[in-house]
Amino acid sequence: MWIIELKCVFESEKQCSEFLSCLMDGYVPLKFAYVGSAAHTHDLLASTEGYGAIVGSVKEEISALREGLLKIDCMVPFNVVELGPGNGRHTGAFIAELSSVLTFSKFELIDYSKTLVDLASQRLSDVYPNIEFNTSQADLEDYESNIEFGKGDDPNLILLFGNTLGNVESWKKSLQHLFDGMRSNDILFTSYAIYDPKVEPSVYLDGYRTSELRNAALEPLVMTGADTSSVEFVVSFNAEQSAIVGKATFLSETVISCSGKEVPQPTGSSVRCFLSRRFSPLVMKGAFESIGFELLAHVPSADQSISYLMAKKL
């Protein structure tokens, strides 16, 4: 039986109590795989080739962005806001191309993980010393509080890349949450992983059966008391949810603990600790429109694995 020290290993007591409460319900939201020391494990994962395929090509993003901007004939500078910049590597590549499409005054980085957003901001400031990067912490899944985007005169261009919308617990609620925080002239530009029922599930699992993914998905459990050698991690495709699902099974009794609160995991019990949905473009279009978005661009990547979607409030 494993027992660890009684301290908060996340970034706040709020994160800790939400983590334990979800664990008692049998799952760990993926956002916990980015906070505290887990941010560094994500940093490693985000440098692997498989992850690069999910992130997609910046050139394709820029071309979709250009297509959407033509529809609104908008020449003003934007306040660019990226929600979930990860370790900032993709953001850096995106910024290099962005100035060919639009002008922007500032760049805001918003993330659930303070550790990651600070890492991203530091990296980006080193590469772009002339751009002002502001950081803040917010949870796309905290429906009790509004996400604060820029309130100045310039419209916000809100970026949400890397299938982050597919990795939250309730993507429809999170999309509504985003919509509620936007002003009428703000623009949302996002990318998501495409689901095509004709594609063999094994194709979707490619890149997810790696030691980097295993380590990243298990990190929140390891931070709170599990020993990786006492956990079996299995990744499968759930056709009903059109999602890649990772399940951890405890091979020996383990006490998961944070801030002095303990949740024992009996031998043989399982916790879902990875979930990444893929979406049919028709489903995504319907969800955006039913919330009250107008689609400005909706373009698949050349290999049909990712879709780029730009939208504003109707």
Stretch that binds ligand SAM, among 67-75, 133-141, 178-186, 250-258 (CB under 6 A): 133-141
> Contact, 234 vs 246, CB < 8 A?
yes
Q: Is residue 217 near ligand SAM by the rule CB under 6 A?
A: no
The only residue of 18, 43, 108, 111 in contact with ligand SAM, by rule CB under 6 A: 111
Q: Is residue 273 near ligand SAM by the rule CB under 6 A?
A: no
Q: Is residue 10 near ligand SAM by the rule CB under 6 A?
A: no
What residues from 39 to 98 belong to the interface with ligand SAM (CB under 6 A)? Answer: 46, 55, 84-86, 90
Q: Check the CA dihedral 268-26-221-273 and report its sign.
A: positive
DSSP 88: S
Q: Inter-axis angle of helices 211-223 and 38-45, to 10 degrees?
A: 170
- Distance in angstroms (rounded) separating the CA atoms of residues 222 and 242: 27
Q: Check the CA dihedral 75-81-86-88 and report its sign.
A: positive
The single-letter code of the amino acid at 201 is P
Q: How far is CA 37 from its chain centroid?
A: 17
Selection from 180, 128, 141 nearest residue 158 by Cα: 180
Q: Residue 14 Cβ, how far from ligand SAM at the closest point, in Å?
A: 13
The only residue of 68, 162, 166, 246 in contact with ligand SAM, by rule CB under 6 A: 162
When the beta carbons of 192 and 233 are compared against ligand SAM, the nearer one is 192
The only residue of 20, 31, 178, 195 in contact with ligand SAM, by rule CB under 6 A: 31
> Contact, 256 vs 143, CB < 8 A?
no
When the beta carbons of 148 and 232 are compared against ligand SAM, the nearer one is 148
Q: Residue 186 Cβ, how far from ligand SAM at the closest point, in Å?
A: 17
Site residues for ligand SAM per CB under 6 A:
31, 34, 46, 55, 84-86, 90, 111-113, 116, 139-141, 161-162, 164, 168
